[in-house]
């Protein structure tokens, strides 16, 4: 399922690309127009709601449009009032949430990937190995955390961005998960898991829904949920990437 930020694709070429994804059968959801951080005190619920509607106008005529909202940066409000106000607005306007269970700093890997010398096949091969290992590690971290919090393995939703590193390695990512026993399912099938109906009461609100439920349950030793580059920089530096 694709969640475009309107400001990035609001051009004839960008909208045509989103329409192409939809015509290929991929569901399209709402990621807001301006990609504002609802966890920031400078962003009000009212402004955020208007931004959601501005995005909706761009894409709601697409055949695979879905009223599911993916919060930018996975931030759902730094106060209980903003969190609950947005949830009430979503209910009133027919929006379902689109949480993720597996978060990974693919955005940072993309930044490093773009700095590789063009045509360096050896470094590209090494990068592929390190990137796949990173996604496998993060998937298993959240799978383990889910079993600890939920007592079961849920249908997972992995957050990946439309960027160069995934354009290059997505087939390898899919093959890795399949070869290790994971099954790729449709987004709506995944979202039908009861996990995604949970509404954690954590403040600040947001992040991976499994991480938020773990925090709510008092699980200790949770690493920073935003998957900051501080964890990955030493790995890529050590690999000469």
Please write the tens of the pLDDT for every residue from 103-130: 999 999 999 999 999 999 999 999 999 9
227-208-128 Cα angle (round to 5): 45
Would you identify the CATH topology of the domain 6-97?
Answer: TIM Barrel (3.20.20)
Question: Are the C-beta atoms of 90 and 144 separated by less than 8 Å?
Answer: no
Q: Tens digit of pLDDT for each residue in 183-198?
A: 999 999 999 999 999 9
Average pLDDT over residues 10-14: 97
> In whole angstroms, how large is the CA radius of gyration of the chain?
18
pLDDT of res. 226? 66
Is the C-alpha dihedral spanning 214, 215, 219, 220 positive or negative? positive
What is the CA angle 37-41-47, rounded to 5? 60
Work out the average pLDDT over 4-26: 97
Q: How far apart are CA 28 and CA 2, in angstroms?
A: 5
How wide is the angle at C-alpha 115 spanned by C-alphas 110 and 116, nearest 5°? 100
The model's confidence at residue 221, banded by pLDDT at 50, 70 and 90, is: confident
Calculate what percentage of the chain has a pLDDT beyond 70: 99
Q: What is the pTM (predicted TM-score) of this model? A: 0.95
Average pLDDT over residues 142-150: 97
Residues 33, 5: contact at Cβ < 8 Å?
yes
pLDDT, tens digit (0-9, with 9 covering 90-100), for 54-85: 999 999 999 999 999 999 999 999 999 999 99
Residue 165 has pLDDT above 90, yes or no: yes
pLDDT at 9: 98
What is the reported pLDDT for 223?
A: 83
Integer Cα distance of 167 and 165 in angstroms:
5
Give the Cα separation of 87 and 58 in Å (integer).
Answer: 22
Question: What residues form DSSP beta bridges with 160?
Answer: none
Domain ranges of the chain: 6-97, 106-191+220-238
pLDDT band at 208 (very low <50, low <70, confident <90, very high): very high
pLDDT at 14 over 90: yes
Q: Give me the mean pLDDT over the 140-150 stretch.
A: 97
Q: Sorting pLDDT into bands at 50, 70 and 90, what band is 151?
A: very high
Q: How many residues belong to the chain?
A: 241
Q: How far apart are CA 149 and CA 218, in angstroms?
A: 10
The enclosing H or E element of 97 equals strand 96-97
Mean pLDDT across the chain:
96
Does an H or E element contain 66, and which? strand 65-69
How far from each other are the two terminal CA atoms of the chain, in whole angstroms? 30
Instruction: Compute the distance between CA of residue 139 and CA of residue 137 in angstroms, rounded to an integer.
Output: 6
Kindly give, in sequence order, each residue whose CB lies less than 8 Å from that of residue 175, ignoring residues fewer than 6 positions away. none
Question: Using 50, 70 and 90 to split pLDDT, how confident is the model at 229?
Answer: confident
Burial class of 98 by CB neighbour count within 10 A (0 to 12, 13 to 18, 19+): buried
Helices (H), 32-120: 45-59, 80-92, 106-113
Q: Tell me whether the omega of the peptide bond preceding residue 46 falls within 30 degrees of 0, making it cis.
A: no
């Amino acid at each position: 399922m694709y969640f475009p930020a309107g400001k990035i694709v609001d051009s004839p070429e960008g909208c045509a690309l989103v329409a192409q994804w939809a015509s290929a059968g991929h569901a399209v959801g709402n990621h807001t127009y301006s990609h504002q951080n609802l966890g920031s005190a400078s962003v009000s619920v009212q402004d955020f709601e208007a931004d959601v509607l501005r995005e909706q106008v761009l894409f709601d005529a697409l055949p695979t449009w879905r009223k599911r909202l993916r919060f930018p940066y996975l931030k759902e409000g730094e106060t209980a009032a903003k969190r609950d106000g947005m949830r009430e607005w979503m209910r009133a306007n027919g929006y379902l949430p689109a949480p993720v269970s597996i978060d990974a700093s693919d955005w940072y890997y993309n930044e490093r990937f773009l700095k590789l010398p063009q045509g360096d096949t050896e470094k590209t091969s090494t990068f592929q190995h390190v990137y796949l290992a990173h996604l496998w590690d993060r998937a298993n971290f959240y799978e383990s955390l889910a079993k600890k919090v939920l007592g079961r393995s849920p249908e997972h939703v992995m957050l990946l961005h439309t960027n160069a590193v995934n354009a290059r390695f997505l087939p390898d990512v899919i093959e890795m998960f399949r070869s290790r026993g994971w099954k790729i399912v449709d987004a709506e099938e995944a979202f039908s898991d009861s996990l995604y109906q949970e509404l954690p009461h954590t403040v600040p609100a947001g992040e991976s829904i499994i991480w938020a439920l773990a925090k709510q349950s008092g699980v200790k030793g949770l690493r920073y949920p935003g998957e900051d580059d501080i964890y990955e920089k030493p790995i890529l530096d050590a690999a000469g990437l």
